[in-house]
Amino acid sequence: MERIIDLNSLLTAIIVSITILVLMLILFAVWRFGAARNPVPSNITHNTLLEVLWTVTPAVILLIIAVPSFRLLYYMDRTPEAEMTLKVTSHQWYWSYEYPDQGGLAFDSFIVPDGELKPGQPRLLAVDRPAVLPVGTTIRVVVTSSDVLHGFAVPALGVKIDTVPGRLNEAWIRIDKPGLYYGQCSELCGIGHAFMPIGIKAVPRDEFTAWATRMGSKARVPSRHSPRPG
């Protein structure tokens, strides 16, 4: 996400610069070539240097944009040396998380109904059991779906990837700061689309190890909520 923000800042600077330049050229043209100063229009129809400049300059700008864009796409798509794997399975309308490296620990995550929200829990984003992940760790995220097309999206982590039935897609994340990170399904997956949020709890490595050890004795941790459309 940090690199996405950096690219966005670069593009914003380029857009603002182009806007200011074009505005200055328009104002200059209005002042310099107005009817009061030029009652007789020029008969010049071609200017080789000018045509080369307004063809080459946009091409150079596009090249400046393309290089960091392609580099970022490659960086986002290529999973570096992963230290652990998180498997995410989407359902109508909840998420299942599996930890292959922690003895197959698995559990389901549901939205917290409005009537059960606790102080500080955001409506439509709070979940009964967030995915717990260690900070400072490169994590491979493998996603799939059990029914229809869903979208696993956590904006703060720069992750947005479709979960497709019968197919495994892959992304990766590395969280530097402990805390709660929220996301939502980003595909129109049915009547409960707005009610399947994503919750990720990032904790220090030792705390994650203790949590995994404590939970790892259960093949699948049952959820107190059942699938619901909203």
Dihedral of alpha carbons 68, 69, 70, 76, sign:
positive
Phi and psi at 147, nearest 5°, equal -140, -75
175 strand-pairing partners = none
Q: Which domain holds residue 115?
A: 84-215
Measured CA to CA, the distance from residue 117 to residue 197 in angstroms comes to 14
**Is the domain of 46 the same as that of 131?**
no
**Is the domain of 205 the same as that of 94?**
yes
Write the CATH number for 35. Answer: 1.10.287.90
Of the three residues 77, 111, 136, the one that is the final residue of a domain is 77
Residue 207 clears pLDDT 90, i.e. is over it: yes
Q: What is the pLDDT of residue 45?
A: 79
Higher pLDDT, 60 or 222: 60
Q: What is the pLDDT of residue 218?
A: 55
Q: What is the pLDDT of residue 78?
A: 84
| Percent above pLDDT 70 for the chain | 94
Q: What is the pLDDT of residue 38?
A: 79
Count of domains forming the chain = 2
Which of the given ranges, 38-42, 177-181, 218-222, has the highest pLDDT on average?
177-181
Find the mean pLDDT for residues 70-80: 87
Measured CA to CA, the distance from residue 89 to residue 95 in angstroms comes to 6
